[in-house]
Amino acid sequence: DIQMTQSPSSLSASVGDRVTITCRASQRISTYLNWYQQEPGKAPKVLIYGASTLQSGVPSRFSGSGSGTEFTLTISSLQPEDFATYFCQETYSTSWTFGLGTKVETK
């Protein structure tokens, strides 16, 4: 099974901050990597697919990079609506494993 390790598990930031979240795969997954945002009590929402492609309608302050085993989600300037939990997901295997999430909290 592919393991997806996200770091940090939580972070505190302020509006306007640049935020970076990392996801590491236990084996190479090319660019079969998605990022989702989830607000409390809601379903996840896709932000980035294919490691770096911005989903339609998602603000350009979100960006993704990486390939192989190491991936990054960056929020260039944190907005009030961005305080949420972020998950990575691999779709290289048939398990489609998710990371455990990174909770972005207000400082």
What are the residues binding other proteins (CB under 8 A)?
1, 31-34, 36, 42-46, 49-51, 53, 55, 87, 89, 91, 94-101
Cβ distance to other proteins smaller for residue 76 or 91? 91
* In contact, 21 and 45? CB cutoff 8 Å: no
Distance in angstroms (rounded) separating the CA atoms of residues 105 and 24: 22
CB 94 to other proteins: min, Å: 5
Cβ distance to other proteins smaller for residue 52 or 76? 52
32: left (phi over 0), alpha (psi -120 to 50) or beta: beta
